[in-house]
Structure 1
Amino acid sequence: MKRVGIQWIVENVEKSVDFYSKQLGFEIDFIGEGPKFAILSRDNFSVMLRQLKESGHIQPNRIPFIKAGWHTEGQGAWDAYIWVEDADQLYKEFTAKAISIIKPLQNTEYGNRDFEIEDIDGYILCFGHTID
């Protein structure tokens, strides 16, 4: 496998493209008409953003976790975990841009060093690297 791409439903493709490109440093690969669909990438991670005709259908993973009574109230319900070369460097980049950090950079019990952000549609992205 060369790369992974995920698809999320968003409320407004234009606003989401702006967030991913300007705030997170993603490159715009494709923007459809409307726009109702876009693909953005950074390194080997791509996100496809889809705006539906009807709003209110966004479903970040934490929503069903909370509804099901998951023991952490939805914490750790990532929508994507992205392995990076240097989580510390990325954390500095994102904090300098005032991105919504919902879990600060830290070493974890599962052997990674990571942090979590929330995008403008409520999706949680966790960025981390394996601790050697």
Structure 2
Amino acid sequence: MSTAQMLEVAPYLVVADLAAAITHYEARLGFGLTEVEGDPATVAVLSRDGIALMLRTGDPAVRGAEDPDRRADAYIWVTDVVALADELVARGAAVVALPVDRPVGDGRELQVRDLDGNVLCFGQLLD
């Protein structure tokens, strides 16, 4: 069985107005815009001092499996999402969604829920 290495983590925050949130994080908090996904834009990645923060449009009251757009509370980049899925299933983790290729961007994602309902999305960039 292959093992997956975790590379980075970013909070995954739901915002009502993506453009306004980007402006706020840039002007008020000193973050720089790194990436925007979707047409129209639905996801933004901002960074500062080597850390990333992800913003996604939607209703902040809707989380995880209830959300058809697969939002999460944290996004963790890994080297092998399928191997990680196998490991987490074997450990009895509460898998919300098995690995699926993202409709936007170049990645594959897996979601799990912790004991308190927080949803972690593990993502692998594909070449």
TM-score of the pair, normalised by structure 2: 0.47
Identify, as 1 or 2, the structure richer in strand.
Answer: 2
Q: Taking structure 1 as the reference length, what is the TM-score of the superposition?
A: 0.46
Q: Which has the higher contact order (CA 8 A, sep 6+)?
A: 2
